[in-house]
Amino acid sequence: MKINTLFLASENKKKSSKSTSSTCAIVGSMLGGLTLLCLLLFLVLWCWNYKKQGKMREMERAGESQEALRIAQVEETREPTAIMTRRQPVI
């Protein structure tokens, strides 16, 4: 009877450690997947922001290289106006 009890006790320990290791594997996989998903989202948002800033820099460069316009106040709005009269197209 004593040998049988020892055998059952050792069997329960094996099942317990096997259950714990599979639980740890599942939790670790979930945390790893969640971390990977967060990193991927961060990368996508960073690329989107970088592209947006690039377009803004390009527009600023184009604005600085072209003709500077005077700012005139029309009622409550400030608007750019041309300094000289532009030539009308010939039809």
Residue 75 lies in a domain: no
Distance CA 69, CA 86 (A): 13
Instruction: Average the pLDDT over 80-91 and give the result.
Output: 69
Q: How many helices (H) and strands (E) does the chain have?
A: 1, 2
Q: Which residue has the higher pLDDT, 87 or 16?
A: 87
Residue 71 lies in a domain: no
Residue 85 lies in a domain: no
Question: What type of residue sits at position 22?
Answer: S
Distance CA 86, CA 91 (A): 15
Q: Which residue has the higher pLDDT, 71 or 84?
A: 71
Provide the domain limits for residue 18: 2-64
pLDDT digits (tens, 9 = 90+) for 2-52: 555 555 555 555 556 667 788 888 999 999 999 999 999 999 999 999 998
Domain count for the chain: 1
